[in-house]
Structure 1
C-alpha cells in the first residue's frame, strides 16, 4: 500500500486524524500527545504578538542586495560594489549603508528557494507556503486569484483564532496586487471564504489627503445610533429570504466586520498617520514605501497580528530592464531608509521584542545579466532557485547569516529553506500549535505548519 503523503499527511497521521473524529475541523491539540508536543516547542514559539511582512513584489536581486559576489565575472556580479557590515566577513550592497550598520538586528537568510519562476504562482507560494492550485485543463501562465487558493497567513490565523475586538487579524497595504486582467493569488482567505480576508488598504499614505473614509462615521452618527441601525439591519437580514444562503452569510459577515471596524476607536486612530510629527515622517521617507512602513508600525501598535506592506506597486522589483538604475536611484535608498526608521522605532518602544519582521520577495533574480529583445538597458530575469531574505525581532538572533550559495548566488550549497518553512516559522512565532489544521472544500485536513520552523534564526546555529 502506498505511503505517499496526502497534502502533508502521511497515511499513519491521516488515519490518526480520522480516528480522532476531527477531519474537517480546526485541530489545535491532539489528546494525549498535546502535553508531549508542548514540551517540544520549537525555538521562538509564541514570542511574536505581530508579524510584519515587507513584500518586495517582483523579486529583488540577491546579488545586488544581500548576497553580493564581488569575485564573480562581470556578467554575473553586476555594477555595484560591496560594503562591510557589523557581521565580520559579511558584506551587502553599497547602496544599503544604513542596513550595513544595523545588521546586528537582522538575520540574513541567503538560501531561500522554491521552484516557481512565475510571478503569480510564486506569490501564492510566498504568502501561503503552498503550491498554487491549477484548475483541471488550466495553464499556470494564466493562473490568477481564486477562491480555490490556500488562505494566506492572516486569513488562516483569523480562522483558527478569530477576533471579536474590532481589530482585524490582518491588514495589507498600500495596494492590492492587480494588473489589468491579472490578480495575484495568495492575497486573501481563498477557500475559507471572504469572512476571513485580511483588510486591504488601497491608498498612498504619503498623500496629504490620505485617510480611511471606510473607518469614519458620518458626522452626526454616534456609536449608539450605529448600534440601533445595526439592530434594524439584523432584523431585516433575518426576514430576507430571497438571498441564497452563502450570499446572505457573506453579506452578514461583511456587515459585521464593517461594524466592528467602525466602532474600534483604536484602529481608526491608527490610520491617522498625520498624527505623526513631520520629523518622524521624514525619517521614514516621504514616499509611498516609507509611509507604508510607518503606517504598518501604527497597525502593529494597534494590535494587528499580521501586517503586509508591499513595496511600491505590482512587480516593482521586477528589474528585467535597468536593474542597477532602478535599484540605485529609488528602490534601495527607500528600502534602506524605511527599514532603519522602522527598526529604530520598534526597538525604542520595546515592540521589536514581540514583532517578527520579514523582508522578502517571491523569488530572486538570475545570476547572469541579460537584455530583453528590443531593449538596450540590461537587467536580470526571474530566479527561484536561491534568493535572500531578512528576519528580525521576536527572539530572532541578529548579526548572523544563514545559508551559503555558490560562487554566482545561483544555488544553495548549504541547507535551504522554502516558503513552507517561512509559513511554519510565522505561525510558530504567533503561538499556533504545530498540530493545528484547516480543511479544504473537499474536507481534507491541512497542517498550518506544513514545513519546518527555521530554528537557526533563534539558536544562532550555523546552517
Structure 2
C-alpha cells in the first residue's frame, strides 16, 4: 500500500466529509454539559455484551420472501424454499449462505413500526423515537447516547471512536448528529469505497503530525484568553481533534482498513461487503468502538421487485446481503475475543439486523413491486447470549396480521423495544431521563410515548430463551 501523508488524508473539509465525520460537522451548537440525568423505572440492564452491531437493511426487505416466508400470488417460482427449522422457511436461492447460519439467530417476526415512509422510518431507527420536528434538532442518535454512557468505561488504549457507522450517509436522513450532547459523542461515519484507498502514515508523517500538534498547542495557549470566549464549543472540538490525533498515531487504525482479496471476494465485493469487512476489523481490533451501524441501502422496490432485467431488484440486493452479512457473522463467531480468549467476538457482541418496516404482502402492485408495510416485519438477533434457533411471534397466512407477539406483552414490539434490548445488553439503564435539555422537555432514552398513547418500553427478553 502506498504510504500516505497528512495532506493526503484530509486535504479539505470536503475530504473529511467523504471519509466520515458528517455526524461531527452537523453536531448541534446547543450541546449541554454536564447533564441532569436521573434513573427512570426500576430496571436491571443485562450488561451481557461489550459491543452492539446494528445492520440496517435500508429501504425495507420484503418480509414475506425473507424471514417470514408466506407463499402468495407475488412469490417468484424460482426461490427454492425449504424449511431450515420447525417454524422457519427460507429461500435457498436468495440466502444460500445465511440459511446455514440461522441456528445462531433468534428471529422476531412480530415487530410493528409507527412510521411508513423512509425518512421518518430511518430517523426512527437511528433515534429510537418518532420524528417531532419541533424538537428534532436536539435529539441525539442512539449511538451518541451509547458513546456518552460508555465514556467512563473507556481504557487509556481506547483510541477508536465509541460510535462508528459504515455507509450511513446513504440513508435518507444521513448520519444523524449528537443533538444536545457534545460533539465528542458524534458518529464517525465511514464511506467504504473511500476508506480502503489507504490511511497509513509513515514515521516521517507521524513526526510531522506531532510537530504540528505541538505548534497548535502553543498557539492555543497564547490565544487562551480570546478562545475562552467560545466556551464549551471550542473545548468540545479541541477534544475531538485530540482524539483524531491519537487515532492517527495508533497502528491498529490503518490495519483495520486493510482488506485481503480473499475477504473482498467472500464478502461479495460490494459496498456493503466492504462495510461488513471494516466493521469486523474494527470490532476484532478491540480499539474502543462499542456500537457500529452498517447501512445497506437500495431495498425500496416499489417497481419490478423480482424482475431480473431491472437494474436493481431483490435478487441483487439479497445476494449482496447474503454474502456480506453471512461472512460477518461467520467471522465474528470464529474470532477469539481479545478481552477473553475463551470467548469469541460474537459471544460479546449483540448483532441486530432489520429494516425500518416491511413490504406489502400478497399480490404485487400494478408496477410489479411491493409497497411499504408497517404492521408486521421481522428482526434478527444473534450473539451475546441470545438463543439461536428461536422463532418468536407469528403472523397470519399472508404475513399481514400479527397473531402472536413473541414476548411478554400483548402489544407488538416496536423499534423502541429493539433499542431497549441493545441498551440493556450494554448495561445501560434504558429508562434514564435527561432533564436539562435546551427545550426543557425531558428526554427519556426509550420514550414511552407512542403514536397513539403509552407503549411498553421493555427489552425483548425472549430472544434469550
TM range (shorter): 0.7 to 0.9
Gaps of 5+ in 2: 1-33, 336-343, 406-411, 448-456
Residue number in structure 1 paired with 2:7: none
Whether contact under 8 Å (2:302, 2:369) holds in the other structure is yes
Q: Judging changes above 3 Å, is the alpha-carbon distance between structure 1 residues 230 and 437 closer, same or farther for their aligned structure 2 residues?
A: farther
Count of aligned pairs: 398
Q: Is 1:317 aligned with 2:299? A: yes
Whether contact under 8 Å (1:153, 1:306) holds in the other structure is no
Gaps of 5+ in 1: 1-22, 137-145
Shift of residue 167, structure 1, vs aligned partner? 2.0
Q: Is 1:240 aligned with 2:226? A: yes
* 2:81 partner SS: strand
Residue number in structure 2 paired with 1:115: 114
Residue number in structure 1 paired with 2:58: 57
Q: Is 1:346 aligned with 2:332? A: yes
Whether contact under 8 Å (1:83, 1:91) holds in the other structure is yes
Q: 2: CA distance between counterparts of 1:120 and 1:216?
A: 42
Residue number in structure 2 paired with 1:103: 102
Residue number in structure 2 paired with 1:210: 197
* 1:161 partner SS: helix
Give the counterpart of 2:265 among 282, 289, 296.
282
Residue number in structure 1 paired with 2:90: 92
Q: Judging changes above 3 Å, is the alpha-carbon distance between structure 1 residues 432 and 242 closer, same or farther for their aligned structure 2 residues?
A: closer
Give the counterpart of 1:189 among 165, 174, 178.
178
Shift of residue 444, structure 1, vs aligned partner? 3.8
Instruction: Name which of structure 1's ranges 156-165 and 382-391 shifts more when overlaid on structure 2.
Output: 156-165
Deviations 1:199-239 (A, max 9, x none): 1112417x8x62347x8897263565355235225425524
Q: 2: CA distance between counterparts of 1:436 and 1:266?
A: 34
Residue number in structure 2 paired with 1:26: 37
Q: 1: CA distance between counterparts of 2:442 and 2:432?
A: 10
Residue number in structure 2 paired with 1:259: 245
Q: Judging changes above 3 Å, is the alpha-carbon distance between structure 1 residues 411 and 283 closer, same or farther for their aligned structure 2 residues?
A: same
* 1:63 partner SS: helix
Deviations 1:294-343 (A, max 9, x none): 111011113310111111x4xx0111112124445411112112222112
Q: Is 1:448 aligned with 2:445? A: yes
Residue number in structure 2 paired with 1:139: none
Whether contact under 8 Å (2:113, 2:356) holds in the other structure is no
Q: Judging changes above 3 Å, is the alpha-carbon distance between structure 1 residues 161 and 294 closer, same or farther for their aligned structure 2 residues?
A: same
Residue number in structure 1 paired with 2:275: 292
Question: What is the TM-score when the length of structure 1 is the normalising length?
Answer: 0.77
* 1:60 partner SS: coil
Shift of residue 449, structure 1, vs aligned partner? 4.2
Q: Judging changes above 3 Å, is the alpha-carbon distance between structure 1 residues 90 and 114 closer, same or farther for their aligned structure 2 residues?
A: same
Shift of residue 156, structure 1, vs aligned partner? 0.2
Q: Judging changes above 3 Å, is the alpha-carbon distance between structure 1 residues 288 and 236 closer, same or farther for their aligned structure 2 residues?
A: farther
Q: Is 1:307 aligned with 2:292? A: yes
Whether contact under 8 Å (2:124, 2:131) holds in the other structure is yes
Q: Judging changes above 3 Å, is the alpha-carbon distance between structure 1 residues 225 and 336 closer, same or farther for their aligned structure 2 residues?
A: same
Whether contact under 8 Å (2:137, 2:179) holds in the other structure is yes
Residue number in structure 2 paired with 1:11: none
RMSD of equivalent CA atoms: 3.0
Residue number in structure 2 paired with 1:330: 316
Q: 2: CA distance between counterparts of 1:168 and 1:88?
A: 41
Whether contact under 8 Å (1:370, 1:379) holds in the other structure is yes
Q: Judging changes above 3 Å, is the alpha-carbon distance between structure 1 residues 220 and 297 closer, same or farther for their aligned structure 2 residues?
A: closer
Q: 1: CA distance between counterparts of 2:369 and 2:440?
A: 45
Residue number in structure 1 paired with 2:188: 199
Q: 2: CA distance between counterparts of 1:160 and 1:26?
A: 11
Whether contact under 8 Å (1:191, 1:441) holds in the other structure is yes
Q: Judging changes above 3 Å, is the alpha-carbon distance between structure 1 residues 328 and 203 closer, same or farther for their aligned structure 2 residues?
A: closer
Instruction: Name which of structure 1's ranges 56-65 and 184-193 shifts more when overlaid on structure 2.
Output: 184-193
Whether contact under 8 Å (1:151, 1:188) holds in the other structure is yes
Shift of residue 402, structure 1, vs aligned partner? 1.0
